[in-house]
Each structure stands twice: as C-alpha cells, then as structure tokens.
C-alpha cells in the first residue's frame, strides 16, 4: 500500500486505521502523521460515543446529551473528511484542535 492510500484509509474508522497501520510503511513520516491524526480522531469518537451512551441512560439529560454529543460527532466526522482530503493532496497539515497532539512517535 502506498503512503497516500495508507493516509486516506487510516481515517476510515478503527478498521481502516488498523489496515493502514499493518500495510502502510511505518518509517514514512507522511503515513505516521496521518496514522497519528486518525488515531486521535478515533479515540475521541470512541470516548464521545461511550459518554453519549451513558447520558442516554439518564432521562433528565438524555436530549441535551444527544444534541451535544451529536454535534461533537459531526465535528469529528468533518475533521476526518478534512484529514482524508489532506492525505489525498499529499499534505501534512495538522487538523484543528487535535493536530498538535502526538500519540505515535
């Protein structure tokens, strides 16, 4: 898998991230950058989904939680699309808010 494809695939849920991690070139800085960005987005999406599920169990704040975490989910989705576009254009521009966080070295 070439670097550009690995960068694009890494943003497609956890499955895409694992595929890009396994099949992508681990020494390529471009692939590392997009794997890191996608990892952060996937972690944020998973945490928000778990918290949203907890809020859904509480009747008083169910609707407010659905609205807030629905909007957060939409922002995460838009940032994933921005990451895909960045990878397709062979760019390593960091994503807003989470772009400076480094989990992978």
Count of residues for the chain? 105
Cα distances (Å, whole numbers) of residue 30 to 5, 6, 16, 46: 11, 9, 16, 24
**pTM for this entry:** 0.86
What six digits make up the tokens of 27?
């020494």
CB-based contact 13:42 (threshold 8 Å)? yes
Q: What pLDDT tens digit does each residue of the chain (105 aa) get?
A: 888 999 999 999 899 999 999 998 888 889 999 999 999 999 999 999 999 888 888 888 888 888 898 899 999 999 999 999 999 999 888 888 887 888 777
For residue 19, count other CB atoms closer than 10 A to its CB: 17
The H-or-E segment that residue 94 falls in is none
How far is residue 80's CA from residue 62's CA, in Å, rounded to a whole number? 26
């Amino acid at each position: 898998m070439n670097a550009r494809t690995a960068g694009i695939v890494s943003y497609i849920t956890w499955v895409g991230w694992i595929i890009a991690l396994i099949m992508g070139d681990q020494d390529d800085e471009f692939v590392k950058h997009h794997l890191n960005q996608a990892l952060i987005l996937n972690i944020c999406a998973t945490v928000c989904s778990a918290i949203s599920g907890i809020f859904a169990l509480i009747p008083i704040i169910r609707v407010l939680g659905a609205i807030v975490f629905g909007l957060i989910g939409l922002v995460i989705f838009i940032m994933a699309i921005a990451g895909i576009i960045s990878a397709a254009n062979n760019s390593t521009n960091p994503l807003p808010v989470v772009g400076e966080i480094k989990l992978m070295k």
